[in-house]
A and B are shown apart, each in its own frame.
Chain A
Amino acid sequence: MTQRIESSGYLLSSVLSPEQELIDIRISNGVIAEIASAGSLTPGASVTIESAGMQLLPGLVDLHTHLREPGREDAETIRTGSAAAALGGFTAVHAMANTDPVADTAGVVEQVVRLGREAGYCDVYAVGAVTQGLEGLALAELGAMAHSMAQVRVFSDDGKCVSDSLVMRRALEYVKQFDGVIAQHAQDPRLTEMAQMNEGIISAKLGLTGWPAVAEEAIIARDVLLAEHVGARLHICHVSTSGSVEIIRWAKARGINVTAEVTPHHLLLTDSLAETYNPIYKVNPPLRTNEDVLALRTALADGTIDIVATDHAPHPRESKECEWSEAANGMLGLENALSVIQESMIENGLSNWKTIAERMSYAPARIGRVDASSGHGQIIKVGVPANVILIDTKIRRKVSEMKSASKSSNNPYIDRTLPGQVLYTFLRGEMIVANGELVRPL
């Protein structure tokens, strides 16, 4: 049945383009078949989507997702995680390498991509580990992963910092041969031993060991200089401090080939939430101060920070229902990312949907060197694969734990009211999400 509907295509009528023009758009045979001014296309054989006034965006691309498979299928699987991604409007995600076994060989990255394809909710790209076992000592087989079926272009030890300067330098140099990028988790390990939360007024009060901003900024400063020195591409994961923003701004002005990401939670939440001692708010890098949040928003708006990446980090309930210091770092991000961005960037007039399309689709696809034939990160025009989403930006809804495809529930936005909801997700013309629900339930 799905096949039959698909072959006849879909008509999205009177939707707002990223540039805020009211248009009709027809999806047929997996691609964008027609675009015309609103009201000018007739349904014909196409199924008409009740979409008047909805926001059309290119399918989102997440450069930073933890899908936990292989190894922690109790927290998330590629199937559940990619379904959550589709519900959040993502048509492509990059699965981080800190699985068990670590994604440091061609075998593991190929398995990740294959499982993503089998699930079919969105395209899953594998991030390869920089060093074997994420131990920061010896380079993983970067070339083998790049040349494998998985075609890995993004390498990261995320969760751990490539702290050894020499190893970092070599990695940056080595991946140049296949136009790869090192995505650095910037955290000086010595400065963050036993660290629990942002070091500042709140940590002093709560008696939780501080994670100082300088531990992030010092690594970023070192790495942009290394990238400049060896002429390589560097990507900074989850930038969290205003100081980091300043360094990246400086590096970009100097012409250094650096890109950076910010997570939705660092754009909305602050360290004062730790006062609850509820580890649902424990994340690495930690939630920072309001001043940092405002600097990150400005940087995302002006392009100093290139992209939004979710750092979706599912954890089983028992890893959060415990003492703060015993709890795992990380929070869910895929399903509510766009709502958080609307809340923190759009509603206050800091940014607009055209810019968000750049930050959440075009730019991440570019940084990840995602193959153009996939259609990810492409401007919506006739002939390109139809990876598009529709958002109802008018509604405000209370986030509920129940309505999630993720296997985990460590969602910091539960019971918070957020604007907007992704109602439709199309992956190469196939309707994956309709009316905010998976077309093929898990």
Chain B
Amino acid sequence: MSDVVTPVLKRHLLSIDDLTREQAILILDTADELARISDAPIKKLPTLRGRTVVNLFYEDSTRTRISFEAAAKRLSADVINFSAKGSSVSKGESLKDTALTLQAMGADAVILRHSASGAAHRLAEWTKGSVINAGDGTHEHPTQALLDAFTIRKHLNKNPEQNGGVGADLTGVNVAIVGDILHSRVARSNVLLLSRLGAKVTLVAPPTLLPVGVSDWPVSISYDFNNAIGECDVVMMLRLQLERMKSAFFPSAREYSRLFGLDMERLAKGKKSPLILHPGPINRGLEISAECADSADSLILEQVTNGVSIRMAVLYLLLGGADA
């Protein structure tokens, strides 16, 4: 049969490092096709009927959980939400025991959100099903990066003959990722994915919020947002956690906002009226002004919509075939 996927994905999606360029494009293309179905009046496909998907969330993240849940349900998978709060987990059950329990329940995939970097890697060692990393500490959040890449590709290929960029990568696209790179799993996954897809990535942050080992990343570094925004096609703003202030990463929210926040004035310095992305939830007035968040170039809500398509694609490509 000619319709067997050639770049078969690994069993787990733990890091963008698990994906080749071709596999990443396959996910984006699959999401593109699934997005059309999501637009149809009947939003349910029988594809994953009989599969069980567990949302195992050790951190509150309603939007990511709902996005995965919607994706799984549209593919007719059974979804079990397992929130760490108020469960046996909060009574001291180890991640390993939880993993073994979920396996005994017959979970085909576990979607894990956890505050510890590498938690998804650990879980993958203890469970037979697929593990999808839905954010692990300050490490990675691969599906967020995929939906960001998907959103960017779609918008930069809007003409009908470009067909939403199906099959294409992001060669030549300039992306600035701005803010707390050090603690951002979104940034790590995006740096890997966007550069793998050919985009040129610039990190914009105060030196305190860049990791010491950043020199090894395939990016340029800028401490000057005004300068960096000039050639950008896309500006990706990261959420700033205010508690970082206590550890002396920056002097005050006001100073941070002035130097690294996005407002209309700064946006106007961009020569290409850049697209605005933000993984949410946003701090209006801190890393991004309300005007920018609501502007025509802002794709923040579209990211949410695209998130469901990307997660459907990942679930389909991991679970839609024979058991590994």
Do chains A and B stick together as partners? yes
Instruction: Report which A residues bind B (CB closer than 8 A).
Output: 193, 196, 199-210, 212, 276-278, 318, 321-326
In the complex, chain B residues 45-83 whose Cβ is within 8 Å of any chain A Cβ: none
Inter-chain contact A204/B95, CB cutoff 8 Å: no
B135 to chain A, nearest CB (A): 11
- Known contacts A206-B139, A323-B116, A325-B137; A277 and B212 CB within 8 A of each other: no
A150 to B213, CA, bound (A): 47
Partner of B211, one of A204, A278, A321, A324: A204
B153: chain A residues within 8 A (beta carbon):
none
Inter-chain contact A204/B117, CB cutoff 8 Å: no
Inter-chain contact A200/B212, CB cutoff 8 Å: yes
- Known contacts A204-B214, A205-B188; A325 and B117 CB within 8 A of each other: yes
B137: chain A residues within 8 A (beta carbon):
207-208, 325
Q: Does B270 contact A (CB under 8 A)?
A: no
* A/B interface sample: 20 pairs, CB < 8 A: A196-B117, A199-B213, A204-B211, A204-B214, A206-B117, A207-B117, A207-B136, A208-B138, A210-B213, A277-B118, A277-B121, A318-B94, A321-B94, A322-B94, A322-B122, A323-B95, A324-B116, A325-B116, A325-B117, A325-B118
- Known contacts A322-B94, A322-B96; A206 and B118 CB within 8 A of each other: yes
A210 to chain B, nearest CB (A): 6
A113 to B39, CA, bound (A): 75
Q: Does B35 contact A (CB under 8 A)?
A: no
Task: Categorize the interface residue count of chain B.
Answer: 20 to 34
A276: chain B residues within 8 A (beta carbon):
121
Q: 8 additional contacts, CB 8 Å, given A203-B212, A318-B94?
A: A202-B213, A204-B212, A204-B217, A206-B117, A207-B137, A212-B212, A322-B96, A325-B137
Inter-chain contact A207/B140, CB cutoff 8 Å: yes
CB-nearest residue of chain A relative to B126? A321
A209: chain B residues within 8 A (beta carbon):
138
A324 to B121, CA, bound (A): 10
A206 to B117, CA, bound (A): 7
A-B contact count (CB 8 A): 73
Inter-chain contact B212/A210, CB cutoff 8 Å: yes
B244 to chain A, nearest CB (A): 13
Residue among B118, B121, B212 with the highest chain A CB neighbour number at 10 A: B118
Inter-chain contact B114/A204, CB cutoff 8 Å: no
Inter-chain contact B122/A277, CB cutoff 8 Å: yes
Q: Does B119 contact A (CB under 8 A)?
A: yes
A322 to B137, CA, bound (A): 14
B138: chain A residues within 8 A (beta carbon):
207-209
A323 to B136, CA, bound (A): 10
Inter-chain contact A207/B139, CB cutoff 8 Å: yes
B52 to chain A, nearest CB (A): 24
B311 to chain A, nearest CB (A): 21
B211: chain A residues within 8 A (beta carbon):
203-204, 210
Q: Does B200 contact A (CB under 8 A)?
A: no
Partner of B213, one of A204, A318, A322: A204
- Known contacts A201-B213, A208-B118; A322 and B139 CB within 8 A of each other: no
B220 to chain A, nearest CB (A): 16
B265: chain A residues within 8 A (beta carbon):
none
Inter-chain contact B114/A323, CB cutoff 8 Å: yes
B3: chain A residues within 8 A (beta carbon):
none
Q: Does B185 contact A (CB under 8 A)?
A: yes
Q: Does B216 contact A (CB under 8 A)?
A: yes
A201 to B205, CA, bound (A): 18
Inter-chain contact A205/B216, CB cutoff 8 Å: yes
- Known contacts A276-B121, A321-B94; A326 and B116 CB within 8 A of each other: yes
A327 to chain B, nearest CB (A): 10
A204 to B116, CA, bound (A): 14
Inter-chain contact B121/A203, CB cutoff 8 Å: no
A277: chain B residues within 8 A (beta carbon):
117-118, 121-122
A202 to B211, CA, bound (A): 10
Partner of B117, one of A199, A201, A324: A324
A322 to B99, CA, bound (A): 11
Inter-chain contact A199/B122, CB cutoff 8 Å: no
Inter-chain contact B216/A201, CB cutoff 8 Å: yes
CB-nearest residue of chain A relative to B58? A323
A193: chain B residues within 8 A (beta carbon):
247
Inter-chain contact B118/A323, CB cutoff 8 Å: yes
> Digit string of B204-241 for contact with A (CB within 8 Å is 1, else 0)?
00000001111111000000000000000000000000
A204: chain B residues within 8 A (beta carbon):
211-214, 216-217
Question: Which 8 pairs across A and B sit closest by C-beta, in order of nearness?
Answer: A204-B213, A277-B118, A207-B139, A204-B211, A323-B116, A207-B138, A201-B213, A207-B117
